[in-house]
Structure 1
Amino acid sequence: MLSINNLSYFIGGRGLYENASLHIKPKDKIGLVGLNGTGKSTLLKLINGDYQPSAGDIQKAKDCTIGFLNQDLLSYQSEDSILDVALEAFQATLKLQEEIDAVLKQMETDYSDQVIDRLAKLQDQFEANEGYTIKAKAEEVLEGIGFQTADLNRPLKTFSGGWRMRVMLAKLLLEKPSLLMLDEPTNHLDLPSIQWVENYLKTYEGAVIVVSHDQEFLDNCIEKTVEVSHGGLTLYSGNYSFYKEEKKERMEIQQNAYENQQQMIKQTERFIERFRAKATKSNQVQSRVKALERLDRVNEVVDDNIAVNFKFKFSQQSGRDVVTLDQVSKAYGDLVILKNSTARIERGDKIALIGANGKGKSTVLRIIDGTEKVEGSRTEGYNVIKSFFAQHQLEALNVNNEILQEMNQAGSSKTEQELRNVLGCFLFTNEDVFKKIKVLSGGEKSRVALAKTLISEANFLLLDEPTNHLDMQSVNILIQALEQYEGTFITVSHDRHFIRGVANKIWYIEDQEIKEYPGTYEEFLNWKAKQDAEALVTAKTESTPKVVAVKRREINQTEANQVKKELKKKQRELEIVEEQLMGLEEQKIALEAEMASPEVFADSQKLEAVNLKYQKIKDQEAKINAQWEQLVEEIEQLELELG
């Protein structure tokens, strides 16, 4: 479907790619991985035609269409509603609808065979394009990635950049291009939305290339991994976990080959040095010199994984109780976040607060921090020293400071060498520590702000989305740092790999209360799956339909929500069909009046022509009536399921 052949691309004198090749097949699901700066996003732009190769070429099949989600779309604005923007994915079908509307308007005065035939053909084509369901499909995708039904008619320009990016993702998914390219699609999604996109991509009919730092997302939706490294593209025939294991084995083989070759080189050089002056050995010496010159050298393995060894120092340990919330309530107008909720954080807790956007997770962090006013009581324990990391902390960095200066101002008593060691763990080495904050990327600023948080000598950390803008290597560094942290922390995150690595308790907000699971994320998932399964069995074994419906609503809310979405979809389709039937009924009435007129009734040819039109309308009506009956049955069944 698409071939990259001997691709080279240079920025100034620096070569991002040199003679790189890759072949993409029609249903490939590929994860593109590599360190920051290796050119992953650049490769997508080369494929999309935004950049031109310095050498080599990219060939694609004639019928190959490309859809590209990238961070540049954050700036896209429109006065249209987000539903209308998503519907732009169906341009051809929308054009058919306009043509049908124009023909129906024409039929108010013109009942010629030509017009009726054109209407029939347009409607058949519209139906073949599944035109009656495009609105329902767009709504399903938008709601799947986190929008509420009430949001669908709001103008795109009223949403933040992250939510606008979701709309562009929805539009791309609805367009279904042959090759779908997604650059960091999970950056602006919450956990339920990430899982929805994963499931969508698993069954996507075309090819997919994903650049992502979310390791679990890659594991769940890709089947091949391509590593960008040293200007080349290396293919691994498995998901991200397979890639890590396979790469480890390849590195061991390469390192062994390197060491063996180095030993051979040293032996050869010793021979050359020893016998260089002997005439009797000159031929052998020259032969070995030429052999070394021709030798294809094996590169030494450079391990990208950095082992972190932080030494956290607390001026004092906190008491056993860190923060206690008792009967706490918080609302913004009609939006209730918490109502009479109670929770307790103890020394040594490593809590992950998870859930969908809009539930109030960041608000809960501020309540725990004591910066958000609430009803009820918040009690802070003895000797608690807090440090809060959130994305706004990036703006709080002094842009005119060098990185080392900024770290010095964090209030710790660490020496310059100790600060350099910490910065080295966060990938700032050698002269990097003298870079000005203002020249750093978003990810680099995040790493500086995180490093400042970790050296603050706080015994209680509050971390709001700490993995945003971090690459995989930086996420793994943060996991290692928090594993060694002996204090208490609570973090809000949608990165499941990160949560698995750091949390010993899971919090989530349900029914306007903070709920706690006292175990790891893996244990929480197993418990949740068991709860859902038991709920489904209980619902099925209840004898009374009314009781079954109540149980479904109380216990299996996810299933009930899916039924509600399907019901809404069918109800919208029914409305469209009923509008068509009304239009046909009006045409029938007009034709009946025409057949009853003395002028037509007295002319057999005119009467026959009008009667033919009438029969065609009746045939269409019968066909659409069948659709109406089917929809009514499906709606009744769905309503019965909901009780």
Structure 2
Amino acid sequence: MILLQANQIARLFGDEVLFENMQLEVQDRSRIALVGRNGAGKSTLLKILAGIEEPDKGTISKTKDLTMGYLDQHTGLESTKTIWEEMLTVFEPIQKMEKRLRQLESQIADEQIQADEKRYQQVLVEYDRLQHEFNDLNGYGYESEIKSVLHGFRFEEDYLDHLISNLSGGQKTRLALAKLLLEKPDLLILDEPTNHLDIETLSWLENYLKNYRGALLMVSHDRYFLDKIVEEVYEISRRKMSHYKGNYSRYLDQKAERLEREWKEYEKQQVEISKLEDFVARNLVRASTTKRAQSRRKQLEKMDRIERPQGDEKSAHFLFGIERQSGREVLEVEDAAVGYNQTVLCEPIDFQIRKQEAIALVGPNGVGKSTLLKSIIGDIPFVKGKSKVGHHVSIGYYDQEQANLNSQQSVLEELWSEHRTTSEKDIRTVLGSFLFSGEDVKKTIPLLSGGEKARVALAKLSMNRDNFLILDEPTNHLDIDSKEVLENALIDYEGTLLFVSHDRYFINRIATSVLELSETGGKLYHGNYDYYLEKKLEEEQLKELLNEETDEVVEVKTETKKNFELDKQKQKEKRTLERQVEQLEKELHEMEEAIESIQKEMELPANLEDHEALQKLNETLTSSFKQQEDLLNQWEEVSLALEEF
């Protein structure tokens, strides 16, 4: 069933067209993504579809009694109530029904009403009807439903009596989404729902939305999220709309296939046009061929000419260079604790970063990821412990809040003020690569969108040519195309990276290691995001296995008293584990020697000057670290199993 249709929708600003002829259809179980560059009009179109704004042209038709929920990317839940009280307002009709049921139960027990057979039957009929309706509306489980959704958004039960007015902006946004999910509208319209969500919450939301009973229409720049949720994509590009079936990855494939097909059709027609025009030019003035030439000319005039296919819109294109090479050891954080005013968010944190590594920081919101970055650059002191920066290391820092941008300056002045000896032409060239051209460079910082501010901050970073980049949520505010440009620039970067991101696709492409922060400290995984997930799954499975084995061992110990043969088998298993531990310790020792040998070889002057040789050695070293990590994990597993004996 069609819930909503948009017909020939347009948004105009005077003579300027933001978009026009928008056609969109939402079915009762649709899973739709709206994609396009920043500034293409995605959020504006969502507001028109949600009924918040009126279109300049076109109509919106929808089914009778359609319920819609809309989440603005910049809006949080405002309320004077506590979290629990506000969520309960969603279920006020059920609460009134529950109150009426209690009243009817009291009447059923009333002897006077029982004596009046007609009245008594009326009460029983109403009670039976309400009870069925109450049950259908999950009247007996709505409180559990509230707690489940709030838990998914990381609001635990002991936090539910907090006043919403005292919460952070990110928490209010999460609550606004939680309330929308509890309301269960027929059509859920979400503008950047993944903002302010950590990776664990993102995974929970994905699973929830996959099973959502209504229709979904959303804007998101998270590719993992879109691939898991959506089944069709509407793209706004060059003020027009195109429709594709499938998830985001399938949309990219279809878009490329369509463009290739359009080029072939265009080029085929151009060859035909060229032949016809050539025939007309050569034969029109000749008496014997004039009629045929005139026929060809009429054929040309009647031809429905294919427009030249337009490829992707203009993209940013930039690189991060370095002024000079750093030493091999870039950063060491030792026995550190991070937090504010002696309140510890995470400890202990111990890790090293070597040249050309790229480490992603992951963990739940509030665990101290951004705080750790600020402690490393000296903005916030460590609660305890320290960090040590290596030789010839120059740090470039990207702040997710763009607090280092001067609100009094224009885009041009923002870069020029830090590079006075650089010509205006060169500054404009740099800004042009970040999509600032012409009069755009004269805009003041406060007038810029979030995406534009992000591009200014990245432009400043590229000009500094630092060899160690520390990035706090660099993909925030960037559209998917800009993210891909940033990813490619960082992949080609010859320096070292330490970054925080909730974008799983971005982490997977960039990271060589993942550092997970939790309340119990930091743990390093040598590999990309997929590897990190695999190891986390193995750890969970091992934990479950060890718990099962613990129970089994207790049972075996009891039985051993009765059965000597079982005791012999147990001793045999113990000896096997002891031999495995011994072998793994031998392999670990050999691996440590191999790693030390590679590191010494990398320090040789001949290799330091040979980039290709150094790169190969670094790849070998990275592989060795991964093997060492695998051996350590195996040793821990076997040692834990041995301890049970």
TM-score (norm 2): 0.78
Mapped partners of 1:17, 1:501: distance in 2: 33
2:47 to 45, 48, 51: 45
Mapped partners of 1:227, 1:365: distance in 2: 37
Query: 1:168 corresponds to which letter in structure 2?
Result: A
Alignment partner, residue 205 of structure 1: 213
Shift of 1:230: 3.6
> Is residue 261 of structure 1 aligned with residue 261 of structure 2?
no
Mapped partners of 1:480, 1:524: distance in 2: 22
1:446 to 443, 454, 475: 454
Query: 2:541 corresponds to which letter in structure 1?
Result: A
Alignment partner, residue 95 of structure 2: 94
1:553-632 correspondence to structure 2 within 5 Å: none
Shift of 1:181: 1.1
Mapped partners of 1:139, 1:250: distance in 2: 47
Query: 1:449 corresponds to which letter in structure 2?
Result: A
SS at 1:356's partner residue?
coil
RMSD (CA atoms): 2.9
Mapped partners of 2:508, 2:245: distance in 1: 25
Q: Tell me whether 377-386 or 188-197 shows the greater mean CA deviation.
A: 377-386
Mapped partners of 2:35, 2:407: distance in 1: 30
Shift of 1:138: 0.9
Mapped partners of 2:553, 2:97: distance in 1: 44
- Over the matched positions of the two proteins, sequence identity in percent amounts to 38
Alignment partner, residue 312 of structure 2: 303
Shift of 1:546: 8.7
Q: Tell me whether 18-27 or 205-214 shows the greater mean CA deviation.
A: 18-27
> Is residue 382 of structure 1 aligned with residue 391 of structure 2?
yes
Query: 1:18 corresponds to which letter in structure 2?
Result: E
Give a deviation string over 1:30-56, Cα, whole Å, max 9, x none. 111111222222222222122233443
The question of whether the paired residues in 2 share the 8 Å contact of 1:443 and 1:470 is answered with yes
Alignment partner, residue 37 of structure 2: 35
Go from structure 1 to structure 2 and tell me whether the alpha carbon gap of 1:144 and 1:257 turns closer, same or farther (over 3 Å shift): same
1:403-482 correspondence to structure 2 within 5 Å: 403-411=411-419, 415-482=423-490
2:28 to 18, 26, 29: 26
SS at 2:400's partner residue?
coil
Alignment partner, residue 7 of structure 2: 6
Alignment partner, residue 197 of structure 2: 189
Shift of 1:153: 1.5
Give a deviation string over 1:417-453, Cα, whole Å, max 9, x none. 5444433332223443333323211111111112212
SS at 2:551's partner residue?
coil
The question of whether the paired residues in 1 share the 8 Å contact of 2:320 and 2:490 is answered with no
SS at 2:53's partner residue?
coil
Go from structure 1 to structure 2 and tell me whether the alpha carbon gap of 1:106 and 1:438 turns closer, same or farther (over 3 Å shift): same
Mapped partners of 2:38, 2:138: distance in 1: 42
Alignment partner, residue 590 of structure 1: none
The question of whether the paired residues in 2 share the 8 Å contact of 1:86 and 1:168 is answered with no
Alignment partner, residue 328 of structure 1: 336
Mapped partners of 1:121, 1:8: distance in 2: 45
The question of whether the paired residues in 1 share the 8 Å contact of 2:35 and 2:220 is answered with yes
Query: 1:94 corresponds to which letter in structure 2?
Result: Q
Q: Tell me whether 409-418 or 431-440 shows the greater mean CA deviation.
A: 409-418
Alignment partner, residue 575 of structure 1: none
> Is residue 498 of structure 1 aligned with residue 506 of structure 2?
yes
> Is residue 83 of structure 1 aligned with residue 80 of structure 2?
no
The question of whether the paired residues in 2 share the 8 Å contact of 1:87 and 1:171 is answered with no
Shift of 1:163: 1.3
Alignment partner, residue 583 of structure 1: none
The question of whether the paired residues in 2 share the 8 Å contact of 1:4 and 1:59 is answered with yes
SS at 1:35's partner residue?
coil
Give a deviation string over 1:520-571, Cα, whole Å, max 9, x none. 11222222222223333333344359999xxxxxxxxxxxxxxxxxxxxxxx
SS at 2:351's partner residue?
strand
Alignment partner, residue 61 of structure 1: 63
Query: 1:99 corresponds to which letter in structure 2?
Result: R
1:344-363 correspondence to structure 2 within 5 Å: 344-363=352-371
The question of whether the paired residues in 2 share the 8 Å contact of 1:4 and 1:20 is answered with no
> Is residue 112 of structure 1 aligned with residue 121 of structure 2?
no
Mapped partners of 1:311, 1:210: distance in 2: 33
2:345 to 337, 347, 357: 337
Query: 1:475 corresponds to which letter in structure 2?
Result: K
SS at 2:75's partner residue?
helix
> Is residue 244 of structure 1 aligned with residue 252 of structure 2?
yes
Give a deviation string over 1:59-96, Cα, whole Å, max 9, x none. 2222432111113533x421111222223322321322
Mapped partners of 1:413, 1:518: distance in 2: 42
Go from structure 1 to structure 2 and tell me whether the alpha carbon gap of 1:311 and 1:291 turns closer, same or farther (over 3 Å shift): farther
Give a deviation string over 1:381-432, Cα, whole Å, max 9, x none. 2222112111332x43233433222122344865545444433332223443
SS at 1:68's partner residue?
strand
Give the paired residue count. 545
TM-score (norm 1): 0.78
Mapped partners of 1:422, 1:264: distance in 2: 43
The question of whether the paired residues in 2 share the 8 Å contact of 1:32 and 1:225 is answered with yes
Mapped partners of 2:451, 2:521: distance in 1: 33
Go from structure 1 to structure 2 and tell me whether the alpha carbon gap of 1:276 and 1:41 turns closer, same or farther (over 3 Å shift): farther
1:174 to 179, 182, 198: 182
Go from structure 1 to structure 2 and tell me whether the alpha carbon gap of 1:307 and 1:130 turns closer, same or farther (over 3 Å shift): closer
Alignment partner, residue 493 of structure 2: 485
Give a deviation string over 1:120-168, Cα, whole Å, max 9, x none. 6544533332212111111110110122322212121111222111111
Go from structure 1 to structure 2 and tell me whether the alpha carbon gap of 1:513 and 1:439 turns closer, same or farther (over 3 Å shift): same
Alignment partner, residue 147 of structure 2: 139
Mapped partners of 1:331, 1:110: distance in 2: 66
Mapped partners of 1:341, 1:190: distance in 2: 20
Alignment partner, residue 130 of structure 1: 138
Go from structure 1 to structure 2 and tell me whether the alpha carbon gap of 1:38 and 1:287 turns closer, same or farther (over 3 Å shift): farther
Q: Tell me whether 214-223 or 32-41 shows the greater mean CA deviation.
A: 32-41
The question of whether the paired residues in 1 share the 8 Å contact of 2:338 and 2:368 is answered with no
Mapped partners of 1:519, 1:305: distance in 2: 34
Go from structure 1 to structure 2 and tell me whether the alpha carbon gap of 1:219 and 1:177 turns closer, same or farther (over 3 Å shift): same
Give a deviation string over 1:562-610, Cα, whole Å, max 9, x none. xxxxxxxxxxxxxxxxxxxxxxxxxxxxxxxxxxxxxxxxxxxxxxxxx
| Structure 1 gaps, min length 5 | 549-643
Shift of 1:246: 1.2
Go from structure 1 to structure 2 and tell me whether the alpha carbon gap of 1:355 and 1:338 turns closer, same or farther (over 3 Å shift): closer
| Structure 2 gaps, min length 5 | 557-645
Shift of 1:479: 0.7
Mapped partners of 1:509, 1:311: distance in 2: 28
